[in-house]
Structures are given as C-alpha cells and as structure tokens.
Structure 1
Amino acid sequence: MSKIKDFFIRNKKKLWIGVGVFVALLLVSFALFLLNRERILKFAVAKIIQKVENKYPAKLHIGQAKFLNLNTVLVTDISLLPNGQPKLLQVDTVAATVSFRSLFLGRMVFKQFDMASGMITAYMQDSTDNFSFLYRKKATGEAVDTTAKNSNYGTLLNRLIETAFENVPDGVNFRNLGVVFKNDGRTISMHLPTMVIEDGGIDARMTINTDSVTNTMFVRGVIDPDKYLLSAKMYGDNASGSIEVPYIKQKFGATMRFDTLSLSITDKVFKNNQLTIKGESSAFGLVLNHPKIADENVTVQNGAMKYVITLGDHYYALEPESEVRINKAIFYPELTYETRPNRKIGIKIGSPDIPANDLFASMPPGLFDTFQGVKATGTFKYHMDFYVDMAQVDSLKFESDLDAQNLQITDFGPNDLRKLNQEFTHTVYEQGKVVRTFKVGPSNPNFTPFNQIPHYLKYAILTAEDPRFFTHKGFHEGAFRHSLITNIKENSFVRGGSTVSMQLVKNAFLTRKKTITRKVEEALIVWIMENLRLTPKERMYEVYLNIIEWGPNVYGIKEAARFYFSKEPSQLTLEECLFLASIVPKPKQYRTYFNSYGELRAYPRYFFKLITGNMLKRGLISPSEHASVSPYVNLSGRAGSFIIAKPDTTQIMDTLELAPIDLLDF
C-alpha cells in the first residue's frame, strides 16, 4: 500500500498532466462533434436509409433531419413506400433524443420519441399486401416473397414480438396518430389522439372504427422491453360505456362486449423453432350472444385466464399450465392441434375440488338458467380427455368423469329438479316457441301409468335407444364415443349420443334449441338426478313415455296408440310397438316408412329384425314371438290418412347408419 502511495507522490505532476490531456481531448472531440454534428447526422440518416432499403423491398424517405438542441433531433416528412405497393407509413414530424454514440456508429438509438401527425396504412387484397415484408426473412441476394405461406406461425410471431420490443424507446409521446387496415373490402381504422410511454408506463386514448362498430377506449399499462413484458387494461369512456368486439357478428353471427379487458405477455421463449408465450387475461362485465351457444345473452361478471401457448410448425397448443376462471370456478384446459402429416386434436379439461356452492354461483346467467339460485354443500371435481387422429378415427379416445364429495343440494331455486316425482305441467317447445302445454299425471286423461304400458313397447324402445337405462347413471360413455366416431367420419351430425335420461331432461327441463351449453346443462342435470337419485328410474321412464313426441302434435303413448292404431296402449301388438319404437328419433317422418301399397319400406323392416334379434338375445321375447314377427303394420288410426305414396328408394344400409346410438353392445 505504501508503494502505491509513494508512486502517486513521485508521479503526481505527470498524472495531473495526463488527466488534463485526456480532458482536453474530450473537449476537442466534443467541439469537433458540435462543429460536424449536422454532417454526422446526415451520415447516420443516409446509413439508416441504406440499411432499410437493403433489408426490405421498400423505399424510405426522410425529408429533413436537424438538431433542435444538444441531443434532440427533429426529423420531418418520413415515409415508407413498399416496392409496387401503396404507401405504408407517413409521418409529419418526429422529435427524438438520440445517443451520440449511435450517431458515430451510423445508427439512431432513440431515448425519447415524440411523433406528431402520423398515418400507417396497411393493405391486404387476396394474397397481396404492403406490410408482411417487415417480418419475413430474406435470403442473401434473393427478393422477399410476400405471398409465400409460412406454416410456422411461432417463427413469424416471435419475429414480430422481438422487432416490436427491440424498438421501444425509453419515452414515447404520440399525438394524432392514425392506423388504417384494409382487408378485402373491409376497413379498420384507429385514431390515437394521445399515447404516452414514460418510465415503462403506458397511457393512451383511442377510437377504433370498423364497418359496424365504433369504440372509444382508454388503455393503461406497463411495458418492459428487456423482459418481453407487456400488460395493458382497456376500458370504455363514460359516454360509450362497454366496448364491443368488432367483426365477430359478420364472421360468426355473434356479439361480444365487455366493460374492462386486461391482457398481458409475461414471458416468451423461442426454442427449436417453437414459440412459447406466457400471459394472463381477464374480463369484467363480459357479455356474449350467439344462437349456437345459448338462447340469450351470456354474462360473465368476472372471468380470467392464465395461458401458456406454444406455436410451431403445423403445431398449436394450450399447455397444461393454463388456467381458466369463471367467477369462482377454476378449470385447467389443455389443447393440442397438429395439421401435418395428418390432423390430430387433443382436449383435456381438469379442475381442482370446487365447492358446490361456488360452482352453481359461478354459472353465468343465460348459460345455465336451470341452476340459477341453487345452493349446495360438498365439492365437485371434473376430468375430460379427448383425442383423435383423423387418419385413425376409430381409435378416438373419450373419457369424461364428474366426481362429487358430500354433495347435498339445500335449495333447488326456482327450477326444482324433483318435479318429476309428482304431477307437473309440461310445456312443449318447437324452434323456441311454445306449441302445447299439458299435465303429466292422473288429472290428464291421456296419461298412461307405467304398469299400463305394454312390455313390448318398453323393451323395444330401451333396446333401440338405451339398453342399460336401468343400470347406468345417466350416461353411456362407450355409446357417446361411437357417436363421435360416426359423426366425424360422416362430417355431419348423423348419430346422437343421448340416453333416455338425457332425452327426458331435454324434454322436461329445457327448450329444444340445439345449443352447445344446453348439452352441458342437460348433462349436469342428468348427473344430479341420477347420482342423487332424485327420481326413481321407473318414474323417469314413465314420464319419458308420456311426454315424448310421436308425430305431428302427438305427445305421449296414449295419444300415439290412438293416432296410429285407434287403440289403447295396453292393446298394442309387438309389431305395433316395434313401429312406434322405430319412429322415436324422427316421429314426424313416419309417412316415409311406407310404400304406395301401405307396406313397410326397407329401413323399418330392417329395424324390426335388428331390434327383435337383440330382444331375443336379452330374453325380452321368446323364440316363438321372435319367429312370428311380421314386417307389416296397419295404420288404422288417423295417421293412415296422411300416408303419401312415394317410390321405394330406400336400401338396406350399414347398421351404424340405421341404428340409434345404443343398439350395439359396448
């Protein structure tokens, strides 16, 4: 230590001289920079133009660049014109604080960025556009092909994210900025009166116009380019209220609006040509309307999602770490979708133990109206696993399980699921409209008690529709799986997967509208009725046979027996019961079952043979009864007068096409 001290004492003068020379050199360099900074600025601008035009098939124009003060540069009349395409960018003025070092290197790294009166006009028509060149890679010496389709959207999105984050200045102040996107005749425009980014905080106001919707909103958030972190909250102003999502009505026939929407990216990883993005989103006051989802508006007061999304080459996934919350109910979705070499779709949904009260309270109004006001104790837990390789549809996997612990319903609310245990009023709907209302019970003269319904009819319908009705708990997973396989192969809905329990619930508790959520609501009602044993099986089947449709304005077995055969139910023959069982899936099409001579066509004859064969195997009819079955019925009731003679064009078809869902043994 003393040696170092002695060295400084002996060389004190020389050291001070060195420091003085260094300071002098800095001052001279700074003076030279001040004298030549305009020339350095022009050099940097020229190098930027050259770099942009070498990298992209476009012309960059900068009208003038000059220093306003020591380190603030004013640039005017900036435009970017893609080769052979409309102008993409036009900016009147940009005032920016720049790094001296970047100027010496021929670059312009902005610390503060103030843009006034700018316009971005993005254009796409068919496969032509004026912006995709910005994120497409360009091989050396080759032109950029803006029409080439890239199957790896992870690579493209990663490039966009990195380009955007790498060019975010420390401070931003946009004033009067416009963005227009024109796509095949449609136009989206955004006006940004103000947008400020300072110390990582975002504060903006914008108005977005589409062909049908105008939204004025505020945006608040934070951004950290070094961590690829972006978080923003959007909400409407006091005048406009909620924000409506554009275009989904024209594209999907739906409407969606929200009071507040929050979106964030918290991390990204690009590895092995796959991009994984983590983030969160939440919505308050979300309202969705679509006729295929529900009959009326679906309202979610508080919904959120934590997502981990992976995009790769022909591969898309919502990873297992993802989480969806609907009010208080939490679910864990997992999705995979591969497009090559053949399409593969995987869906998994799980949940923690959800308090039953939380689950019922979380069901959005308009989505599960049957459960509004329900109170319960205990917990629910759900698991679903679906996977299909479209090249091997027969190997489709489907598992679904809802488990409950200590479940007890303490209040059924306005829709009592125990109503089937006593006489009740039944309302029939067609296309959402009420067509008929009647009592189901002894006060109705058309009501037929279970013990007065012939065994032939009970067995024939169960054999065709639901052979295991009296032993299962409302669901037949194997039958539903085969239904999915058939529908995928036919690319249309040709087979249902409903048990008698599900058909009963659909008729007794729900409207007949075919919506996605109605099927979920139907399944949950069935699960509760069957697992809590709210109604005995025999009573369920009795109600089913007294309310299902059997023809035009014909409901219940007594009306059916009279309409078709002028008989009481107890008088029906085996053949007549088989006929009634055959028309249950499509009762209004009974007239097509007969030819011009009043004889049964090929399909019902095949149905008779198939059903009686299964009834014989199960011991429901004797060999002599099976042998004596005739492929003929006489419509002696009013129904016979409606038969329209048509040529017999039916053929014996494959069993899977003809038979209702549960004809096969699983």
Structure 2
Amino acid sequence: MSRFTDFFVRNKKKLLIGIGGFASVIMIGFVVFLLNRERILKYAVAKAIQKVENKYPAKLKIGNARFLDLNTVLVTDIALLPNDRPKLMQIDTVEATVSFRSLFLGRMVFKQFDMAQGAITAFKQDSVDNFSFLYKKQAAGETVDSTAKKTSNYGTLLNRLIETAFENVPDGVNFRNLAVLFKNDGRTINMNLPTMLVEDGEINARMTITTEALTNTMYVKGVIDPDNYLLAAKFYGDNQSKSIEVPYIQQKFGATMRFDTLSLSITNKVYKNNQLTISGESSAYGLVLNHPKIADENVTVQNGAMKYVLTLGDHYYALEPESEVRINKAIFYPEATYETRPKRKIGIKINSPDIPANDLFASLPPGLFDTFQGVQATGTFKYRMNFFVDMAQVDSLKFDSDLDASPDFNITQFGPVDLRKLNQEFTHTVYEKDKVVRTFQVGPSNPNFTPYNQIPNHLKYAILTAEDPRFLTHKGFHEGAFRHSLITNIKENSFVRGGSTVSMQLVKNAFLTRKKTITRKVEEALIVWIIENLRLTNKERMFEVYLNIIEWGPNVYGIREAARFYFSKEPSQLTLEESLFLASIVPKPKQYRTYFDAYGGLRAYPRYFFKLISGNMLKRGLISPSQAASVSTYVNLSGRAGSFIIPKPDTTHVQLMDTLQLAPIDLLDF
C-alpha cells in the first residue's frame, strides 16, 4: 500500500493530466456525436438497409428516421417487400432507444422498442409464398432459384430461425395494434394484437385470432431470456369464452380440439454436428378432443403435460429418452426415431414407472375408456413397448409389448360394466352401424344357446386352429400373431389382416361397440388383460360364450343358428367338413356366398383352407390321419343358406393369392 501511495505522490501531476486528457477526448467525441448524430443515424439506416438487402431477396424501405431526444429514435413508414412478391410487412411508426456504440458501428441495436400500427401479410399458394426467404441462406448477389431442391435438414433451418429471433429481441417491447394476416392455399388466419408488452423479460399480451369458422380471444403471459434461449408462454381465454378452439383441425383432420389453458416453452437448445436438440415443456388443462377415429365422443384430459427433448437433423428426427408424458396422474416415458433416407426407419419405445392402479384408472380420460370410469383397485402397473421397422426389410420388424402388475393387484370395485358378467347368463345386444340389430340372452334361458359340451370337438379345434391356436395357453395376446399382421399390413399399405386373439374378439363382441377406433382397441386390450390375468372367467366359458354370440351370417348369431341356417342340423351333428366350412367364414360371415361356384362346388379359397387347416389339425394331433385323408372339398348347404347362393364368375387365381396373404399367421408355428 505504501509503495502505491509513494508512486501516486511522485506522479500525481502526470496522472491528473492523463485523466483530464482522457475525459477531454470523451467530451470531444460526445460533442462530435451530438453535432453529427443525424448523419450517423442516416448512415446506420443505410447500412441496415444494405445488410437486409444483401442477406435477403427483398427491399427494405424506411421513410424517415430522426432523433427525438438524446438516444431515442423515431422511424416511420417501414416496409419489407420481397422481390417479385407482395409486401410482407408495413409499420407506421417505431420509437426506439438505440445504443450509441451500435450507431458508431453502422448498426441499429434497439434497447427499447415501441411499435404502433403494424401489419404483416403472409401468403402461400401452392409452392409460392412471400416469407420463406427469411430462413433460407443467400450469399451476396445470389438470386433465389424456386426450382432448387429444398433442404432436408430441418434442424439447421429451425436453429437459424430461433437464433435470428432471439438475437433481435430488445430489452423492452411495446406493440400496439399489430395485425397479422396469413393466407395459405385459400385458408385465412387473421390475428389482431391490440397490445403486447415485454418488460424485464416478462411478456403480457392480448390477441384475437379469427379464421373462416371461429374467433378466439386469448391472453398470453410468459417470460423470455434471449441470452439463454429461454421462452415460456401460457395461453388462456377471456372470462366470456374461456375455452380456446384450435382452428382448421376440423377442415384438415375432421376433428375438433379446444383447451382452457395451454402452456409452451423452450428451455434449452444445442446445435452440434448439423443437428439441433431442443428441450422444453408443454401442458394443457381442460383439453377436449373429438375425432371419429379416436373415440365415439369427446375425449377430455383435465391435466396433461409433456417434457420433450427433440432432435432434428438431416433426414433424421428423434424424441429422446429424456422425454416424459403425463396424463392426469399417469406417467410414461416415450422415445421415437424416424429416418427418411436411404430408407425409412421407424422406432418407438414406451416405458413407465410403477403406476398405482387407482391412479391409472382415474387418469383414463372420459370418452376414451368408459368401462373403467370409477374402477377401484389395489397394486401397481408397469408398461413397456418396443417397436422398430426398417422399411427396406419389413420382415425383420420387431414388436413386443408387456403390461405387468404387482402381485397385490386386484379390482375391488368395478365401474359401469362388471367384467365378471361372462360367468353368468347375460343380455347381449348386437349393433351394426350404431343401430341395434338383435338382443338375446346368452345362457340356458335362450333355446338357441349351446353348452360347451354339446359343440363337437372338430368344430372347436378347426376354429381355434384358424383363429387362435394358442388360446388355451396364452393370456389374451399373441405377440407373434400381431407382429405378422403388422408386417402384412405394412407391405400391403392397407389394413388387410388383424392380430386379434379369440379373447380379444370375445371382448369386442361382449363389452364394446363395433366401431373401429384407436381407443376402443386399447380399451379392448386392457379388458382382455384384466379378465385373463385375474382369471375372472375360465377359458372354457370364454370359448363357449364366443361360439354363442359371434356372427355366422346375415342375422345369424351363435353356433346353433349357424348349424341350422347352413345345414339344418344341431351343432352336435356337424361333420368335419361342415365344421371346416363354418371355421372358414368366421372372419367374413356375410361373404359365404362367394365361396361357391355356379354348380354349388367350393372355389379355390375354401378348398385351400380345408387342406391347410385339416393339415395343421393333424400335426397337432387334433384329428387322426384317416380323418385328414378323408376330408372332402364338397359341402352341401342343405339349410336356408343354400337358397341364397348367387353364382359368380370364377376368379380362382385371384382368390388363391388373397388366401395366401390372409392365411392365419399362427399356422406358421406348426
């Protein structure tokens, strides 16, 4: 300390002169700036225009720019006009606080930004638009080639957009009366922003969004931190409308979607090796979704959330393992990958922690799983699913799925449907196209009911061999069968084969509607799992009910009606050939007439089916060699069904090819 004091005393005169000189330089520079600031401002404006026009194929026009006070600039009549495209943006006035340093460098960096009376008009018609140039790189003097191949690396594009947006966020923003109009191939979205205020990183806004069919007024609250690429916003309706309906979902997907509150955020981004990884969260309260392919009625998720980690690259997209989905109280960990080149590869994994059974049942959204509304249980669930397919090698498709329950899992209270009803006589209603076709009792009070022991074994074996060979040993599901059905459906690019077991077909008929919705299939699987794993009904009774309620023809339900309709017999009198015929029509019973030619003989498909099924019954020891050898390919429809046969042209070769594709996949196990 004494050395510094001595130095200062000895050199104080020189030091004071130096400090004074430095202060004089600053003062002179400041005076020079004051005298020339308008010229510097014009230079900065010209530099900004030049920079925009060098970077983008567009013209930036600024009517006037002048200082209002020491560091506040007023800019008027701003327009952005893409080359050979309609005007993209028009702003009447911008009042901004600028950085002195940026002006000296020929830039205009705003600290405070107050904009009034602005309009952004974006359009896209076919492949022509007036905005995509903003996220496409362009070298100085380069023109845009509309025929150039679009980049496939959406990670690079999105990273450029995010960085451009965050780098240009001022410390404070006040938008007043901003209108955004977007026209996309004949559709119009009009957004009016009466006010949006960003101050100290906090966002407050009110907006009205109008489409052809609806108008939403909503509020936005959020935070933004440009230095850390952080953005979070919450959208919610006003006191009158409350719910916000998502536009164009009906027109594009035939669905409706609305929510009370929606929150979205970006919490981090990393761009490395031409791949962008974004982390964030989203949540929705009071989410209501309606689509005929999902469920019969509105699906309501009171509280749903997702933590996501997304990676986008060149022909590559991934939902990383760190992602999490929460539906009310149930939590799942999804993971997905999608590669588009050289061939498409799709991978999906879902895992869950131990979920208390009551939490899972309480979390199932109303409208999706009505069977389980109000169910009470003990124990926990844990789910795992793994799917992967390389479209260049579809036969190598991988699929496995498993729902595990703790040893103490048990249902203590059923919901609106008692899953034990199969154990006693019950009323069964048949629906077709939402209309009631038949209602009958399944049990001894129905004269058409056939007990299990009165059904011939060769009929039972034929149906099980064709539909579900492992019915007596599996717990409701056959992953191999489902995997093979997926492979066939992917190859055909159509749903031509199902992977349903007898248990699943029984549940579909006895407990659920016949509508083919995604959620009905999931509900069906959960009901099957509970019945099979809790052994609510034994296999013999399940198969007995199945044979007594399935459809066998036009308004023909149950094996006794079928035996009489086709052969004027009781079920116990059916021959092996007649049993094989009945087994062959189970998938499409109303099409039995197409099985016969003009002379009453069986066509190629049923003949092939007879040979295939009887051969596999022989391999399993279900019939003797002599029975297999004596199987005839002639069936006499001696019942009423014979009078409905309509001769059709023989398309044997076509039917045989279809047969080879649709042959029961379980038979490959023998």
Map residues 339-350 of structure 1 onto 2, 5 A cutoff. Answer: 339-350=340-351
Q: 2: distance between equivalents of 1:11 and 1:631?
A: 121
Rounded Cα–Cα distance in structure 1 between residues aligned with 2:4 and 2:503: 95
Alignment map for 1:495-514 (pairs within 5 Å): 495-514=497-516
CA contact (8 A) 2:54 2:139 kept: no
Q: Which amino acid aligns with 1:623?
A: P
Per the TM alignment, residue 212 of structure 1 is displaced from its structure 2 partner at its CA by: 2.0
1:122, 1:475 → 2: CA distance? 52
Matched, 1:194 2:199: no
Compute the displacement of 1:654 (Å): 6.5
1:633 Cα shift?
1.1
Per-residue Cα deviation, 1:607-661 (whole angstroms, up to 9, x for no partner): 1111111111111111111122111111111111111111111223376424134
Choose 256-265 or 178-187, whichever is displaced more.
178-187
Query: In structure 2, what is the equivalent of residue 58 of structure 1?
Result: 58
User: 1:136, 1:144 within 8 Å by CA — same for their partners in 2?
Assistant: no
| Maintained 8 Å contact 2:193/2:208 | yes
For 1:599 and 1:172, the matched residues in 2 are separated by: 83
Displacement of 1:165: 0.3
Partner of 1:13: 13
Aligned match for 2:544, one of 542, 545, 564 = 542
Residue 407 of structure 1 aligns with an amino acid whose one-letter code is F
Could you tell me which residue of structure 1 aligns to residue 290 of structure 2?
Answer: 289
SS for the counterpart of 2:45 is helix
Structure 1 letter corresponding to 2:205 = A
In structure 2, give the amino acid aligned to 1:511. Answer: T
* Structure-2 separation of matches of 1:30 and 1:580: 100
Q: Distance in 2 between matches of 1:49 and 1:289?
A: 49
Distance in 1, Cα, partners of 2:14 & 2:469? 106
CA distance in 2, matches of 1:318, 1:213: 33
Q: Distance in 2 between matches of 1:284 and 1:307?
A: 18
1:301-337 deviation line (CA, Å, top 9, x unaligned): 0000000000000001100000000000000000100
1:23, distance to aligned residue in structure 2 (A): 2.4
Q: Could you say which residue in structure 1 is the equivalent of 2:116? A: 116
Question: What CA distance in whole angstroms lies between the structure 2 residues aligned with 1:333 and 1:25?
Answer: 63
Q: Deviations over 1:334-366 (max 9, x none)?
A: 010000000000000000001111000100001
Q: Is the 8 A contact 1:496 1:660 kept in 2?
A: no
SS at match of 1:662: helix
Q: How does 1:525-604 map to 2 (within 5 A)?
A: 525-604=527-606
- Equivalent residue in structure 2 for 1:659, among 642, 660, 663: 663
| Partners of 1:147 and 1:327 in 2: CA distance | 48
Residues 100-157 of structure 1, C-alpha deviation per residue, up to 9 Å, x if partnerless? 1111111011000000000111121222211111111123542233554110000000
2:612 alignment counterpart: 610
Q: Does 1:392 align with 2:393?
A: yes
Aligned match of 2:624 in 608, 622, 625?
622
One-letter amino acid of the counterpart of residue 40, structure 2: I
Rounded Cα–Cα distance in structure 1 between residues aligned with 2:156 and 2:61: 30
Q: Give the letter for the 2:574 counterpart.
A: L
Asked whether the 8 Å contact 2:233–2:264 carries over to 1, the reply is: yes
Q: What residue number does 1:2 align with?
A: 2
Specify the alignment match of 2:83 in structure 1.
Answer: 83
User: CA separation in 2, counterparts of 1:303 and 1:145?
Assistant: 44
Residue in structure 2 matching 1:640, options 642, 658, 667: 642
State the distance in 1 between where 2:307 and 2:7 align: 64
Helix, strand or coil at the partner of 1:653:
helix
Conserved? CA contact 2:462–2:613, under 8 Å: yes
Deviation string for 1:432-472 (max 9, x for gaps)? 22221111000111100000111111011001001111111
- Partner of 1:381, secondary structure, is strand
Q: Which residue of 2 aligns with 1:367?
A: 368
Give 5+ residue unaligned stretches, structure 2. none
1:452: which partner in 2?
Answer: 454
| Cα offset, 1:22, TM superposition | 2.6
Question: Which ranges in structure 1 are unaligned for 5 or more consecutive residues?
Answer: none
Q: Do the aligned partners of 1:496 and 1:661 also contact (CA within 8 Å) in 2?
A: no
Distance across 2 between alignment mates of 1:198 and 1:290? 41
Number of residue-to-residue matches in the alignment: 666
Is the 1:498–1:661 Cα contact (8 Å) retained in structure 2?
A: no
Q: Give the AA of the match of 2:552.
A: W
**Contact preservation (8 Å) 2:496, 2:662:** no
Distance 1:24 1:615 in 2: 106
8 Å CA contact 1:132–1:146 kept in 2: the answer is: no
SS of match in other structure, 2:106: coil
| Residue 33 of structure 1: how far off its partner (Å) | 1.4
Q: Secondary structure at the match of 1:11?
A: helix
Q: Deviations for 1:192-249, whole angstroms, at most 9, x for unmatched residues? A: 0000000000000001112222111000000000000000000011112201111121
Name the % identity. 85
Shift of 1:26: 2.2
1:399-438 equivalent positions in 2, closer than 5 A: 399-405=400-406, 406-438=408-440
Q: 1:270: which partner in 2?
A: 271
SS in 2 for 1:263: strand
1: CA distance between counterparts of 2:657 and 2:169? Answer: 66
Provide the C-alpha distance between the structure 2 equivalents of 1:498 and 1:3, rounded to a whole number of angstroms. 92
CA distance in 1, matches of 2:99, 2:435: 71
Q: For residues 234-278 of structure 1, what are the alpha-carbon distances to aligned partners after superposition, in whole Å with 9 as ceiling and x for unaligned?
A: 001111220111112111111110000000000000000000000
- Relative to structure 1, the CA distance from residue 255 to residue 147 in structure 2 (aligned partners, 3 Å threshold; closer, same or farther) is farther
1:476 equivalent in alignment to 2:473:
no
Q: Is the 8 A contact 2:179 2:193 kept in 1?
A: yes
1:206 aligns with 2:207: yes
User: What secondary structure, in the 3-state scheme, does the structure 2 residue paired with 1:311 have?
Assistant: strand
Q: Aligned partners of 1:628, 1:2: CA distance in 2, in Å?
A: 120
Is the contact between residue 91 and residue 119 of structure 1 (CA under 8 Å) also seen in structure 2?
A: yes
SS in structure 2 at match of 1:107: coil
In structure 2, give the amino acid aligned to 1:566.
S
The 5 Å alignment of 1:239-388 reads 239-388=240-389
- SS where residue 400 of structure 1 aligns? strand
Question: In the alignment, residue 111 of structure 1 is paired with which amino acid?
Answer: K
CA contact (8 A) 2:55 2:139 kept: no
Match of 2:443 in 1: 441
RMSD of the alignment, in Å?
1.2
